[in-house]
Amino acid sequence: MKITLAKTSPLLQRDFVFGVATASFQIEGAADSREACIWDTFCATPGRIKDGSDGLVACDHVNRWRDDIELIAALGVDAYRFSIAWGRVIRADGSINQAGLDFYIQLLDALKARNIKAFVTLYHWDLPQYLQDEGGWLNRGIAYKFAEYADVVSRAFGDRVYSYATLNEPFCSAYLGYEAGIHAPGVQNRQQGRQVAHHLLLAHGLAMQVLQRNAPQALNGIVLNFSPCHPASSSAADIRAADMADQYHNQWYIQPLLEGCYPDLLTQLPAAEQPQITAGDMAIIAQPLDFIGVNYYTRTVYRANSKGWFSDVPPTAPPLTDMGWEIYPQGLTEVLLAMHRRYNLPPVYITENGAAMPDTLLHNQVADAERVSYFQQHLQATEAAITAGMRIDGYFAWSLMDNFEWAEGYAKRFGIVYVDYATQQRTLKTSAIALRELFAGRQK
C-alpha cells in the first residue's frame, strides 16, 4: 500500500518537515535510573491501568536508543520529536543527574550526526513524584521549578536542539488528570483542574522566557491538542453546548497564549470553580511563540445536559480506531482553518497525528492498511489547510513505535513500528514502509 500526494503538493516541498514522535514515559523504561513520577504511582494503584501494566521497562529505549536512532534514520525523516523525563535530569534533592542529561545529549548528538532535527518536549505528563508530594501542579511554585528545569536542560543541550516545546497537551494534564481523573494523578475536581491548567500555562510562560534567553536559535513554543466540537443536533441547546465545549477544551489553552485572556466561559463558572489568577500572570503566559504544535486525532460531538453544561456523545458508527475514536480527517482541516481565521498565529506544526489499530504480527509483517489510509487522509487534510492559505511547516506521525498507552497500558498500538514487548523486537508495519516511500520520493 502507498501514500500518494500530488507532485505539486506543498507537503512535498523541500522545506516541509516530516517526522515521527514519542514520549519519555511511554518508551524509555530504565525506571531505576530516574526518579519515580506520577505515572509510576498511578500504575501501582490497582484498577487504574486497564491491563494492569506499568512503564518500568516499556520499550527499553534507554538501553536500545542506538538501534532506535538507526531505525528512525532509515525511515528517511527530517525530524524526531521526543520528550525529556524531568526525573531523569533532576533528582529529588534538587541536584542534577548528569548521567540522565548525558543520555539525552548522546541522543541529540546522534540525531545531529544524521542531520535529523531534534524537536524536544520538556514536559509530556511525567511529573516527578517528589514534586507531586509538594502539591504537584496545584502548587504555584511548581511553575517556577519548571522554569529552573528548562534552564538546566537548555543550557546543557546548547545548540543541539532545533525546537523546544514547553508542554505537551496541557489539556490532558489538567482535564484528564484533575477533572475526569482517568490520567495521573487521578483527581476529579473541577476547581483543581482549572487551577492546574492555569499553573501549567504559567509554567509555559516562565519557561519560554528561559528558552528565548538560553536557546534563541531554537524554535520555542508549545504543543496543544484540538478536537472540533460538533453539536449532536441542530437544536439551539446542543449548538450552545458544543460552543461551550470548544471554549472549555480548545480555546481555554490557546486563547491565553495568543490573546492573554481566558474564554468568556470562565465567567460562567461558579466563583468557587474559577482558577486563582495573580496580577501579571496573563502577560507571562502570553509570551511570543516561535511555533504552535497541533495534535489531532478525532472530532467530538456534544449535547446539552440537564445541568446547563455539555456532555459528549461517544461515536458508534464506523470507521472507528481501536481506541473507539471516529476517523474524521476533515476535522483536522476544520480546526486548523478555524485557528487561522481567529488568531494571529505563529508557524504551525502538526506535532501528533495517528491511530491505534488492532495490529497483528504475522510472518514478520504487520499489514495495517487502515492506518495507511488514516495517514493518507490526514496528510491530505493538512494539505487542504495549506492550500486555503495557512502556514504549516511540518507533520509528525504518532507514534514511532508501539508503547505504553497511558491508562490503556500496552493494549493499544499507535506505532508505525510494531514492538514485541516480550523480546523488544521492532518490526516495520506497512504504514512505516508507506511513509518511508513517501519521504523518499520528495524533491531534494
* Residues carrying an active site annotation: 169, 352
CA distance 52 to 297: 25
β 425-428/417-420 pair status? antiparallel
Report the DSSP beta bridge partners of residue 310: 304
Contact 436, 3 (CB under 8 A): no
CA distance 310 to 230: 11
Instruction: Please give the grid coordinates belonging to residue 265.
Output: 466561559
Half-sphere CA count of 380, side-chain side, radius 13 A: 13
> Minimal CA–CA distance to 378: which of 329, 335, 325, 439?
329
Contact 165, 121 (CB under 8 A): yes
CA 429 to chain centre: 22
Q: Is 389 helix (H, G, I), strand (E, B) or coil?
A: coil
User: Where are any strands of DSSP class E within 296-360?
Assistant: 300-304, 310-312, 348-352
> Minimal CA–CA distance to 43: which of 62, 16, 22, 25?
25
β 417-420/163-168 pair status? unpaired
How far from each other are the two terminal CA atoms of the chain, in whole angstroms? 23
- Residue with C-alpha cell 504549516? 392
Cα-based distances in Å from 5 to 19, 165, 342, 377: 17, 29, 29, 10
CA distance 25 to 37: 9
Dihedral sign from CA coordinates of 174, 291, 211, 71 = positive
CA distance 196 to 136: 9
Q: Return the CA Rg of the chain.
A: 21
> Minimal CA–CA distance to 62: which of 114, 119, 121, 103?
103
